[in-house]
Structure 1
Amino acid sequence: MTSAPITASSPAAWLKQTAAPWRRLTILAGLLAVADVAPAVGFAGGLAMTVATFGSSPLAALPWLLLAVFSLMARGLIGQAAVVVGARLGRSIKTDVRDRLLADLFGRGGRADDRLTAVVEGVGALDGYVSRFTPLKMAAGLSPLLIIAVAAVASPFSAGIFLFTLLPFIFGMILAGTAAAGESRRQFQALERLSGLFVDRVRALPAILAFDARARTTADIARASDELERRTNRVMRIAFLSSGVLEFFSALAVALIAVYCGFNLLKLLPFPAPETLDLPRAFFVLALAPEVYQPLRRLAAAYHDRQAAESAVPALVTPESPTRDRHILPEEAPAIRFTKVAIAYGEAAPVIADFDLEVRPGQIVALVGASGSGKSSLLHLFLGLSPLTAGEVEVGGARLSEAGDFAGQIAWASQNPIVVPGSLGDNIRLADPSACPGRILVAAGEAGLFGDLDRPIDERGGGLSGGERRRLGLARAILKRAPILLLDEPTANLDPASEEAMLDLIRQATRGRTTLIATHSAAVAAMADRVVRL
């Protein structure tokens, strides 16, 4: 189940919206955590009655002992069921979030170094939150109150002590959460920086070796690793300190109950006794005392999972792409008009300035000129790879400034077609993933790629000659049913015989399309209806 990107005003709201499709599973996990109260009460009652009756009649104590044993077994089964449901919940939510991130990364052109930590570490940080913290949060809110209500039947005064001693727990958890939130966020940011730095240096490894920058690169990675270690240690110190404080309050509260019950039984209370306890009731309340604080202690232990998840949310939120009006180009070859077009990269001087050109429907136009004159930049405008700094490009009545690009409706063949690991047929299919095998075979034949389409191709193009790689680009252009064809140096570095064979393929690919060709070749320019010199 892959849903649309989720956006929210805060990390907590984002996590809540992300878990919304699995609300029933979340409630089930929480109810299983709350259901632990029943066997806990059964064990306390069975243990108390066993101790109270064993001295007078061991046989009479046997049913109560069996109750305690069965309560322990039931508690184990409920705990196992809670783990299974929590794991299923975590797996479902992580799969959904990871699918959205990968769709953003590959489907919408995200950068791997920007989203690497999010896909791996960020999604992993959600596991503890959804499988442990969320169910325990429900249990921490209900279970202590249920146990206190049961304890009030045996000893109302003890129940009052339980309620009073819950306040330090709540206050301690608020302090621990506030202290851990900032450190967890900074720790995840340090992890993102280290991951991005490492990916960047791996990409630049040839340059690092060529310029003998190994020592500096090692020092940069070491500094980033040390920063992550410091941040992680701070988070762990806060987690251990908060756990220690809560354990102290828990032990103190249990000791307070034990002192009260003991002094009440001995009638040595320093104040008038509000009630008189017998051994079964006193033992029952004392056995329940640790159970009152157990859900809160578990929640405190899982609180770091919440902080880790909320710290990862900024990296997990899929950035919204700026909305543009998408214009559908006509199925027939359209006219193209350039009006006062300028292309400039950053602060540099414009590569193209005041460029005007009108291309008739179905016309073949060759753009010629020296290297750097802007031929490829003009083609890249249609793909969104060049900035339209000034002017306008109109395609069949659609404005490029409004559409942003026409990449999805244009057939394109570059100087060096991208090759992915797989078969030759798979590489041709990239132009149109919905194409049937018959169409792929026809496109390959028209481009001059004969032979086995199942032959393996590696990521470097191993298995293809230089000419076959050019033909692969043309096969993709032929396969894609687009009204505009863009070709960038289709015959560069080919010998005369290969270039002549390629010209025949180009003529076939341009039929029924408006075509722009960036070229240095006189032979390619000669086949065009119009030559524009830059």
Structure 2
Amino acid sequence: MTVSFTAELDAVARPWLKTLGKAGGTDARTAPLWLLADVPAAIAFAAGLALALDALPRGLAAAAPWLIVLALAAAARGLLAKRAAEVGAQAAAGVKAKARGDAVASVLGGALANGRATGGEALSAVVEGIEALDGHVARFTPARLASAVAPLLVIAAVAVATPVAAGILLATLVPFGLVMALAGGAAAEESRRQFLALERLSGLFLDRVRALPLVLAFQAEGAVTRDLALAADDLARRTIRVLRVAFLSSGALEFFAALSVALVAVYCGFNLLRLLPFPVPEQLDLKRAFFALALAPEVYVPLRRLAAAYHDRQAAEAAALTLAALPAPAPAPPAVIFAAPPPIRFQAVTVTYDPGETAVFEGFDLDVAPGEVVALLGPSGSGKTTLLNLLLGLAPLSGGEVSVGDQRLSHLGSIATSVAWAGQSPVVLPGTLADNLALAHPGATRDALEQTARAVGLADVLDGRGGLDARLDERGAGLSGGERRRLGLARAMLKPAPILLLDEPTADLDAASEQALLPILRQAAAGRTTLIATHSEAVAALADRVVRL
């Protein structure tokens, strides 16, 4: 099983990670260089320390220049470490953004194509799997490249002062590398099993939440709780196994690192005291011995950094096996822009979300003339929102055809650029009111934003919460349901689009507020091909034609 798993990593996960790493751009290429830049700073630090100690018997003035070098080297090391971390984080952000975009497009594209919800395991991979890439890109990859060169550079610097100590350090790198290889092989499979257990738990939880009404109806709460508890216990056991291997490998690595430094310290001490039991081709003085001793631990700093980030590699490779298996996202269709309000035609349209289920529409026909306002009036569940979603590509076309202008919608691709939309649940993003208003038209001026906000009835929000700079969180805290609808309507009014789609624009409003909003709706629909899904007879009265569903 281990051989098969290793082969799978070599064939799938590692090539996928290597290709994805290109999304890190310049930051991914320069991150190892910032770590390598620490080597000259470490050598300067050791040299300053050794020479300052050697000069101290002659007075503080003699040691002062070397103390300055020591302080500058220490400051440089701190700044270089900070910069390396920042560049690694920026590279990881670019890689995660690319991976998240591809994964979400793949998952949502498959869900829309199949007309059904995506499995919990796939969604779990998109969330936990993408985040597992962070440490691999930000820490492990730079550390791996730096660790291949940095120890040899430090040993070369030690060899200038004492070739024998350099030989000791070089010899101890061999068992250190063997321990890292053995630890990595032991932990890789455990890491993969842990990630699979996490996927199973996340998928099980999400799927049971989706089926919660059915669970309650059949009184299966106990069985579901038991299944979740077993999955959680399995994840806990596998996590402990990963930690156990990590702690054992860390202890072994620290042992060999400490042993090698101790050997150098013993050699340098006995050489200074002239007590070595065997002849050596060198006689050390204090500054050379102390320089070698100060640099000895630096040989293993890049390797320790690599060992600390090794679990990040294993987690990323485990996640990559799942993410790489997701189908490649379909290329985005070209955006279509209409210069004038186009006609819209529904011809024998059938919409069925799942095979075998009752169709929402079957053989539906409707012609909307250019610039005409059509109200879709009907009870909940009659399919008003489905018709609007069909134009936006959010509902499957199971039969018939939809034409916009003189072209079929299936050939056009996305017409979202030409559509202004106000839905039942407007999205609210963390930021200011101005940021949220400008989502539909980023080029709008602040004056236009404020005028539109006041026109749709958001004057209380503007006056009571600091104007356009009022802060909103992702939940839209402080906005009522009606104010959310007004926010969505303001966006639709701001966007200069020839097609307007309104989904229940006056829901959650009282009669007086609805009457106040009717002139705004009439103004928003002027000069656009408009479809309005509504329960309200008052809103329907604004339309040129009413279609009852």
What residue is the counterpart of 2:375 in the other structure?
366
What is the deviation of 1:136?
4.5
- 1:144 counterpart residue number: 155
Contact 1:344 1:352 in 2 (8 A): yes
Q: Which residue of 2 aligns with 1:245?
A: 252
Deviations 1:189-209 (A, max 9, x none): 666777888999999999999
Greater shift, 406-415 or 140-149, is seen at 140-149
Determine whether 1:438 maps to 2:442.
Answer: no
Q: Which residue of 2 is the match for residue 180 of structure 1?
A: 187
1:31 aligned onto 2:37: yes
SS in 1 for 2:345: strand
How many residues end up aligned between the 2 structures? Answer: 507
Distance 1:151 1:516 in 2: 84
- Superposed, 1:74-113 pairs within 5 Å as 78-95=73-90, 97-98=92-93
Q: Report the equivalent of 1:481.
A: 496
Q: Deviation at 1:513?
A: 0.8
Partner of 1:380: 389
Kept in 2, the 8 Å contact 1:30–1:134? The answer is no
User: Secondary structure at 1:9's aligned position in 2?
Assistant: helix
Aligned amino acid, residue 82 of structure 2: A
Residue-by-residue CA offset, 1:41-91 (whole Å, 9 max, x unaligned): 7877999xx8xxxxxxxxx99479999998798567535522321222212
TM-superposed deviation, 1:493: 7.2
Q: Secondary structure at the match of 1:373?
A: coil
Select between 235-244 and 207-216 the one with higher mean Cα deviation: 207-216
CA deviations on 1:247-284 (whole Å, 9 max, x unpaired) are 55556667878689979x78976xxxxx6556538996
Q: Indicate how the Cα distance of structure 1 residues 344 and 317 shifts in structure 2: closer, same or farther if over 3 A, else same.
A: same
- Indicate the residue corresponding to 2:462 in structure 1: 453
Partner of 2:116: none
Q: What does residue range 180-219 of structure 1 map to in structure 2 within 5 Å?
A: 180-187=187-194
Report the AA paired with residue 343 of structure 1.
V
The alignment's TM-score, normalised by the length of structure 2, stands at: 0.69
Give the drift of 1:19: 6.4
Give the residue type in structure 2 aligned to 1:81: A
Alignment of 1:64-75 (within 5 A): none
Of 321, 346, 349, 1:338 maps to 346
CA distance in 1, matches of 2:57, 2:508: 94
The structural deviation recorded for 1:332 is: 1.3
Q: Deviations for 1:289-321, whole angstroms, at most 9, x for unmatched residues?
A: 895575236514542314315624757989975
- Partners in 1 of 2:440 and 2:158 — Cα distance? 64
Aligned mates of 2:258, 2:480 — CA distance in 1:
73
Please tell me the residue identity of whatever aligns with 1:171: L
Shift of residue 481 of structure 1?
A: 1.2
Pairwise CA distance, 1:482: 1.0
Equivalent residue number for residue 358 of structure 2? 349
Provide the C-alpha distance between the structure 2 equivalents of 1:278 and 1:421, rounded to a whole number of angstroms.
67
Structure 1 CA distance, aligned partners of 2:102 and 2:350? Answer: 29
Report the secondary structure of 2:37's partner residue. Answer: helix
Alpha-carbon separation, structure 2, partners of 1:408 and 1:106: 20
Counterpart selection for 1:410 from 395, 407, 419: 419
Post-superposition Cα deviations, 1:437-468, rounded to whole Å, max 9, x if no partner, equal 332344345545555634348746755474x6
Q: Write the distance in 2 (CA, Å) between the matches of 1:261 and 1:465.
A: 78
> CA–CA distance in 2 between the matches of 1:168 and 1:496?
81
For the residue of structure 2 that corresponds to 1:36, the secondary structure is helix
1:262-281 correspondence runs (5 A):
277=281, 279-280=283-284
Task: Look up the equivalent residue of 1:30 and give its one-letter code.
Answer: L
Tell me which residue corresponds to 1:4. Answer: none
Contact persistence 1:250–1:290 (CA under 8 A): no
Aligned 8 A contact 2:35 2:81 in 1 = yes
Q: In structure 1, what is the equivalent of residue 242 of structure 2?
A: 235
Q: Aligned with 2:370: secondary structure?
A: coil
Change (3 A) 1:416 1:23: closer
Secondary structure of 1:486 counterpart: strand
Q: What amino acid is aligned across from residue 308 of structure 2 in structure 1?
A: H
Counterpart-to-counterpart distance in 1, 2:307 and 2:23: 19
SS, match of residue 162 in structure 2: helix
Report which stretch shifted further, 280-289 or 474-483. Answer: 280-289
The answer to whether the 8 A contact 2:423-2:502 is kept is yes
Does structure 2 conserve the Cα–Cα contact (< 8 Å) formed by 1:43 and 1:69? no
Residues 369, 533 of structure 1: 8 Å contact kept: yes
Matched to 2:245, the amino acid is I
Q: Does 1:394 align with 2:403?
A: yes
**2-structure distance, mates of 1:309, 1:11:** 10
- Structure 2 segments unaligned to the other structure (5+ residues): 1-12, 109-122
Contact 1:114 1:196 in 2 (8 A): no
Residues in 2 aligned to 1:449 and 1:283: alpha-carbon distance in whole angstroms: 75
Q: Take 2:215 and 2:64, find their aligned partners in 1: how far apart are those partners?
A: 66
Identical residues among aligned pairs (%): 41
Q: Equivalent residue of 1:443, what SS?
A: helix
What does residue 509 of structure 1 align with?
524
Measured after TM superposition, the shift of residue 30 of structure 1 is 0.7
For the Cα contact (< 8 Å) 2:187–2:245, is it kept in 1?
A: yes
What secondary structure sits across from 1:333 in the alignment? coil
- Report which of the two structures shows the higher radius of gyration computed on alpha carbons: 1
**SS of the residue 2:526 aligns to:** coil
2:32–2:84 Cα contact (<8 Å) kept: yes
Note if contact 2:156-2:166 (Cα within 8 Å) is conserved in structure 1: no
Tell me the secondary structure at the aligned position of residue 325 of structure 1: coil
Aligned to 1:305: 309
Relative distance call for 1:533 and 1:424 in structure 2 (3 A) is same
Does the 8 Å CA contact 1:184/1:308 hold for their aligned counterparts? Answer: no
The SS at the match of 1:411 is: strand
Distance 2:50 2:429 in 1: 65
| In 2, Cα distance between equivalents of 1:68 and 1:165 | 34
For the 8 Å contact 1:447–1:475, the answer to whether it is kept is: yes
The corresponding residue for 1:272 is none
Distance 1:108 1:174, change over 3 A: closer
Q: Do the aligned partners of 1:254 and 1:290 also contact (CA within 8 Å) in 2?
A: no
Note if contact 2:96-2:134 (Cα within 8 Å) is conserved in structure 1: no
User: Is the CA contact (8 Å cut-off) linking 1:169 and 1:249 kept in structure 2?
Assistant: yes
Q: CA RMSD in A?
A: 5.4
Quick check: 302-311 or 425-434, which moved more?
425-434
After alignment, is 114-123 or 397-406 more displaced?
114-123
Calculate the TM-score normalised by the size of structure 1: 0.71
Counterpart of 1:432, as a letter, is: H
CA contact (8 A) 2:140 2:310 kept: yes
Whole-angstrom distance in 2 between the partners of 1:223 and 1:340 = 51
When residues 105 and 173 of structure 1 are mapped into structure 2, their CA distance, relative to the original with a 3 A threshold, is: closer
Q: Aligned partners of 2:267 and 2:435: how far apart in 1?
A: 77
Does structure 1 conserve the Cα–Cα contact (< 8 Å) formed by 2:374 and 2:546?
yes
TM-aligned CA distance change 1:183 to 1:285, over 3 Å? farther
Work out the CA distance in 1 between the residues paired with 2:253 and 2:64.
29
Partner of 2:333: 325
Which piece of structure 1 moves more, 378-387 or 209-218?
209-218
